[in-house]
Structure 1
């Protein structure tokens, strides 16, 4: 019930979070979300010291944590998308995305360290850490490159055109006025109100940034629906592993809860390598859907191998867990980062830069529904045998591949046409 309360709340709130993220300062948005997440995590832990035993207290805490944790993903993907261009985007996002696996590892190790002595600290310590980092973000985060004088390629060009035109008329005072006006309108400052940024937004509309788009409009962007549904099943597999792997290891071996939790972190170690590999291959080929399908195709038999042979010895379990992490988390990481940024800046938007957080929220929000459904189904199916849980995960991978099939066909068709275009040019 606690897992479901958090995951379903997270999935539903994600759509609203992306809508809000496009319309406010990400500096305030992210720092507020992290600090409130820390407070709710801390409140979960102090239930032990406060002798609180009401299930509804914990459910309400999980709902609050689920709401405020949704501020993270649309915000951070949008930030990285703003600061880095399209060159080597997959590799950059792949390396950057390792923070999710590192965070999972640290969170699991911290929880495992205290779980048998004082489980309250398993929540109190992470709560304090995320709250402190949220405060640092409030102090130092620069959420738009323009704030520190880093302009897109079009901005200096616009300034030069304006200056040349004014110099032809011999009005130097007007030149200075225009420079100041462009700088003022296009560059939000730390004093720009969080919800009242109309002058900056008006200037952005005039120069192609456009207005924030609706959720319905975002669904019409090519590939958004397919990748969203694919992520539903991909994230279902990933989160089922993340939530149930320590218990599965403990129940299928002689290891205790602490060692089982430690061993389960190898799944996230593999996820680091999988994210980087998927991003690099996507940059190399320009075929994101094909890379995802290929990794999902390999993941299915690897899952079956882990279920059959993972309990034979610790060394075999270590090797298979890393390999499973590579091929399960690789597509998940690629879709939630590079693909989301690419779809959010698609050419069909005609230069509208205000769609990135909305698209990211739609894709990750749909995936988060799968993340909520997977552990819930695993809990129900595990009573009939753990092998049935693995069969469910393999079926989910197959469905994810089928959902990408149309995009894969389009990518290969585009690949066949590209040599012809080169010869003509």
Structure 2
């Protein structure tokens, strides 16, 4: 490839990377928009449509459980079909489910038990449909972005969830408080936004650079020497395996192997769902993530309703602001905690105190129990920071850390299995909590949150102590090394002052 071809290839690559980033970012954001606009409307559903909080808990349980099942099963098909079709078909099915719910409610076509059964069925289908988006988008991003800036880029990309949540709060607020529209039209509006992105994804999304003649490997190779290139090829292989199998079934095993690695892979034994729990730290992090995910989803799904119960009479606008600030806090916390833990090389030493601060802020919320929007905004913004930091780190960096363990070295597809185990456990626990909240009472949500967060803190405590001890030992070794250097320097000066010359190596 001559210089002109390289320049042309680099320009096209830059253009398509911007395009892919934008399409996947806004595509997944519209799905989160639909989820959070639904959460914001819960209080309206109870007052306008005689839908109980218990039934809303059933719907949340149905969505999260089917969503986690979709993660564990549908990813298998995503590895074996064009990612554009995989994601757009799933999102289009989600559009249908949302439209059915909205149309049935606005027209009053069904009532009573019949309505509840239909709502549950289509909410289960909605969860399964939406589960195709994340694995498809993550795999697409993995095809287009190399290791060089992947951490930074994916750190910004994961903000799609928080951006989508804020979109959902804004949409619900504008339609309900601003335009005074019945809540049944909100899922219809959400479906419209998703459909617009489905069309754009179908027309413009190119999941594979080779599909349009762009040589990504050449672009990566031009900035590497021979030794670095070999290591990069290994990283690319592992990244490809990680992205393509991130949400594959925990019981499945890939058959396709790279030709350069086939002999080595044949000697590796797969890790199944059950013995994966025995891998060091996997069980702790799986349960830790379950507690954190349950807490975050509990706030995301029930905070708008909580702000409308008992003595709290917060307006729709103020509820949107409080919920949006919580999401902004999660995004900021994930970036800050991720950067700090990368620098320290230890995760738990930062995550432990961060969770502890979130517990303290939840206790403050319990004591104050206020409907003051400024106070609530302040509290939930910092709860988002201190709780969202460990949540995002556990969701991303921790899984990569676990994949580097020696225990996984001789195991085929261990990363897929461990990732599915941690994600699946978190989603299942979060789903179960949605059933607990209506029976505990929406007014007791903070007690549920406090309990879940304390459990997470207790689970993380041994690893926090271990990391602190390790850092102290490292600091002690550095000090000893520094003292030795100073002592040797003094000896050399004394020898020089006596007229003796240090022996030079030949």
Q: Same fold (TM over 0.5)?
A: yes
User: Displacement, 1:131?
Assistant: 3.1
Provide the residue aligned with 2:319 in structure 1: 260
Instruction: Show the counterpart of 1:65.
Output: 126
2:452 paired residue among 396, 400, 419: 396
Task: Tell me which residue corresponds to 2:90.
Answer: 33
Alignment CA distance shift 1:17-1:114 (3 Å): same
Unaligned runs of 5+ in 1: 162-185, 187-197
Structure 1 CA distance, aligned partners of 2:281 and 2:104?
Answer: 45
Q: TM-score, normalised by structure 2?
A: 0.65
The range that moved more, 56-65 or 40-49, is: 40-49
Q: What SS does structure 2 have at the residue aligned with 1:203?
A: coil
Match of 1:308 among 347, 352, 367: 367
- The alpha-carbon deviation at position 104 of structure 1 amounts to 0.9
Is 1:47 aligned to 2:111, yes or no? no
1:129 deviation in Å?
1.9
Aligned match of 1:238 in 270, 285, 296?
296
The total of aligned residue pairs comes to 385
Task: Give the corresponding residue for 2:380.
Answer: 321
Tell me which residue corresponds to 1:150: 216
Whether the 8 Å CA contact 2:306–2:445 is kept in 1: the answer is: no
Residue deviations 1:108-141 (CA, integer Å, cap 9, x gap): 2212333441323211122222233234334444
- The answer to whether the 8 Å contact 2:87/2:132 transfers is yes
Other structure's SS at 1:255 match? coil
Q: Which has the higher contact order (CA 8 A, sep 6+)?
A: 1
Residue in 2 that maps onto 1:96: 157
Q: Which moved more, 1:251-260 or 1:122-131?
A: 251-260
Write the distance in 2 (CA, Å) between the matches of 1:363 and 1:234. Answer: 12
Native 8 Å contact 1:244 1:375 kept in 2: no
Q: Which has the larger radius of gyration?
A: 2
**1:364 partnered with 2:458:** no
The Cα shift of 1:204 comes to: 6.2
Q: How far apart are residue 304 of structure 1 and its match?
A: 1.3
Alignment partner of 1:411 is 2:439: no
Measured in 2, the distance between the counterparts of 1:321 and 1:33 equals 33
Cα deviation, residue 351, structure 1: 9.2
SS at match of 1:399: helix
Partner of 1:125: 189
Cα distance change of structure 1 residues 413 and 142 upon mapping to structure 2, 3 Å threshold: farther
Rounded Cα–Cα distance in structure 2 between residues aligned with 1:112 and 1:259: 9
Whether the aligned pair in 2 keeps the contact of 1:42 and 1:124 (CA below 8 Å) is yes
Q: What 5-or-longer segments of structure 2 have no aligned partner?
A: 1-57, 231-239, 241-253, 485-506
Q: Taking structure 1 as reference, are residues 217 and 23 closer, same or farther at Cα in structure 2, changes over 3 Å only? A: farther
How is 1:348-363 mapped onto 2 (pairs within 5 angstroms)? 348-350=407-409, 358-363=417-422
Is 207-216 or 19-28 further displaced after alignment?
A: 207-216
Deviation of 1:305 (Å) = 1.0
Distance 1:235 1:24, change over 3 A: same
Match of 2:441 in 1: 382
Task: Determine which of 15, 38, 56 is the counterpart of 2:117.
Answer: 56
Q: Which residue of 2 aligns with 1:285?
A: 344
Q: State the match for 2:147 in structure 1.
A: 85
Q: 1:199 to 1:73 in 2, by over 3 A?
A: closer
- CA 15–306 in structure 1, closer or farther in 2 if over 3 Å, else same: same
- Rounded to whole Å, the distance in 1 between the matches of 2:206 and 2:415 is 17
- Does the CA-based 8 Å contact 1:270-1:322 persist in structure 2? yes
Once residues 85 and 225 of structure 2 are traced to their aligned partners in structure 1, the CA distance between those partners, rounded to angstroms, is 28
Q: Taking structure 1 as reference, are residues 15 and 413 closer, same or farther at Cα in structure 2, changes over 3 Å only?
A: farther
Cα distance 1:241–1:150, how it changes in 2: closer, same or farther (>3 A)? Answer: same
CA distance 1:307–1:280, shift in 2 (3 Å) = same
